Structure 1
Amino acid sequence: MPTYISLINFTQKGAEAIKDGPKRLEAAKQRFRDAGAELKAFYLVTGQYDAVSIVEAPNDEVVAKLALGTAALGFVRSQTCRAFAEDDYKTIVASL
């Protein structure tokens, strides 16, 4: 399955309700499973972003639906990009 990386920032609402964050993360994992995707990793980070997640999903449409649904809850804003594994990178470059 394709891999996606999301760069996440908490909204004001998300920061105010941060103590409930772990429960929301578990609910998100279930939403992802229900959509045929998997939240492979979640990291709290320092710097420009508050968190980073790594997701495997069957296609761009599924990951877009999940990102929009998560954003609609109002706790986070994210930027999501498709990630290519090292073997994919080598294949892409070899075809140039």
Structure 2
Amino acid sequence: MTTYVMLLNWTELGVKNVRESPTRLDAARKLLGEMGGSFKQFYLTMGEYDMVVVCEASDDAVMARFALSLGMKGNVRSQTLKAFPEAAYREIIASLG
């Protein structure tokens, strides 16, 4: 499984209906699960982003479908980062020669 970090901001619609956000989070977690992925961590954050999600999916296509599905609902805008674990990081750096 590949790890991804999603940086999320509420849209005007999303913040207008912020009381429904926990229900939307549960639905997003279920949707990613149905796609074969999983949420590892969720954070409400202060600063440039409203929420941060650490999740796993089998490949980039699954994660793209998930991010697009969230965006289509109109409550959040996302930026998705592919994350490399420390072992992969060390391997990449070592391969530089």
TM-score normalized by the length of structure 2: 0.97
- Structure 2 unaligned regions, length at least 5: none
Q: What whole-Å deviation, never above 9, does each CA across 1:33-85 have from its counterpart, x for those lacking one? A: 10000011110001111010011000000000000000000000000010001
Match of 1:16 in 2: 16
Match of 1:55 in 2: 55
CA distance in structure 1 between the aligned counterparts of 2:32 and 2:41, rounded to whole angstroms: 12
The 3-state SS of whatever aligns with 2:77 is strand
Match of 1:71 in 2: 71
CA distance in structure 2 between the aligned counterparts of 1:48 and 1:24, rounded to whole angstroms: 21
Identity %: 44
Q: Look up the equivalent residue of 1:37 and give its one-letter code.
A: G
CA distance in structure 1 between the aligned counterparts of 2:60 and 2:69, rounded to whole angstroms: 14
TM-score normalized by the length of structure 1: 0.98
What is the Cα-based RMSD across aligned positions, in Å? 0.5
Match of 1:42 in 2: 42
Q: What whole-Å deviation, never above 9, does each CA across 1:8-46 have from its counterpart, x for those lacking one? A: 000000001000100110111110010000011110001
- Structure 1 unaligned regions, length at least 5: none
